[in-house]
């Protein structure tokens, strides 16, 4: 049985996309007596000191990046927790080496997330997925909590992140390296996403992304990529 603190845990939600932040706020809202969301401005760092900063990796750098260093080194961040669907061992290890106090899989439900945040707030270091169990990073079938651009169009969280990075001008090689997935897996996500979006070309995908909230991220904007005519090479 978990211990419920007498005062709510102060949590900052860190992501550059309004729909992602809003989805996290909505997840945590029923637990307002235990979690107090202090700061939700998109792309915000600093400000009021919090107990825990929840770093949602959607559309952002993964746990092995300098961006995470900045969050960890911000004295207002408190304990930093990476919230992601990418459970690769090398990323978990990198986050721990950087000083993160938690690495949590997005497939866990709201109650499990709250309990993990509370435990980390009390000093624990956690790496876990749904029901506190480690998850196979190769399993892409599990449900992902929260909200993301293109969700209403049927995009999965993984497809949406790929579309977001395409919209922001990253090449396929950049996206594969950034998300730690293979080029073949990436192309599979692109084909599936394009079909749901009703587009065929990269330029059409960029336009769709801009019109559907996938181009609002703040960090590391790249120059537009050259359009390729065949989806298999995009």
* pLDDT score of 229: 31
Beta partners for residue 12, in sequence order: 39, 53
Would you list the domain boundaries of the chain?
9-132, 151-233
Instruction: Note whether 96 and 75 are within 8 A (CB).
Output: no
Sheet holding 126-128, edge to edge: 35-39, 9-14, 52-56, 79-84, 102-105, 126-128
Which mean pLDDT values do the consecutive 10-residue runs of the chain (234 residues) have? 70 82 88 87 68 86 82 92 85 90 88 93 83 44 63 86 88 86 91 94 92 64 35 42
* pLDDT score of 43: 54
Tell the CATH topology of 151-233. Arc Repressor Mutant, subunit A (1.10.10)
Q: Where are the alpha helices (DSSP H) in 76-109?
A: 89-98
Instruction: Note whether 78 and 49 are within 8 A (CB).
Output: yes
Beta partners for residue 84, in sequence order: 105
* pLDDT score of 44: 58
Beta partners for residue 104, in sequence order: 83, 128
* pLDDT score of 128: 81
The CATH superfamily holding the domain 9-132 is: Response regulator (3.40.50.2300)
Q: What is the pTM of this model?
A: 0.67
- Alpha-carbon distance of 212 to 154, in angstroms, equals 12
Backbone angles phi and psi of 14, in degrees to 5:
-115, 105
């Amino acid at each position: 049985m978990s211990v419920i603190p007498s005062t709510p845990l102060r949590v900052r939600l860190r992501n550059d996309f309004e729909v992602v932040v809003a989805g996290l706020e909505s997840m945590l809202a029923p637990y307002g007596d235990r979690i107090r969301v202090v700061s939700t401005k998109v792309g915000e760092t600093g400000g009021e000191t919090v107990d825990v900063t929840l770093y949602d990796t959607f559309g952002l750098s993964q746990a092995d990046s300098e961006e995470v260093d900045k969050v960890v080194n911000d004295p207002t961040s408190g304990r930093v927790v990476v919230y992601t669907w990418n459970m690769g061992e090398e990323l978990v290890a990198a986050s721990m080496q950087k000083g993160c106090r938690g690495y949590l899989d997005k497939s866990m439900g709201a109650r499990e997330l709250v309990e993990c945040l509370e435990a980390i707030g009390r000093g624990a270091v956690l790496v876990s997925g749904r029901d506190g169990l480690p998850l196979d990073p190769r399993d892409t079938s599990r449900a992902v909590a929260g909200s993301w651009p293109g969700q209403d169009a049927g995009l999965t969280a993984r497809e949406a992140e790929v579309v977001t990075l395409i919209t922001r001008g990253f090449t396929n090689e950049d996206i594969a390296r950034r998300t730690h997935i293979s080029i073949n897996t990436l192309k599979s996500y692109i084909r599936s996403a394009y079909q749901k979006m009703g587009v065929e070309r990269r330029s059409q995908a960029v336009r769709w992304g801009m019109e559907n909230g996938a181009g609002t991220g703040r960090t590391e904007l790249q120059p537009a990529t050259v359009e390729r005519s065949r989806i298999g090479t995009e």
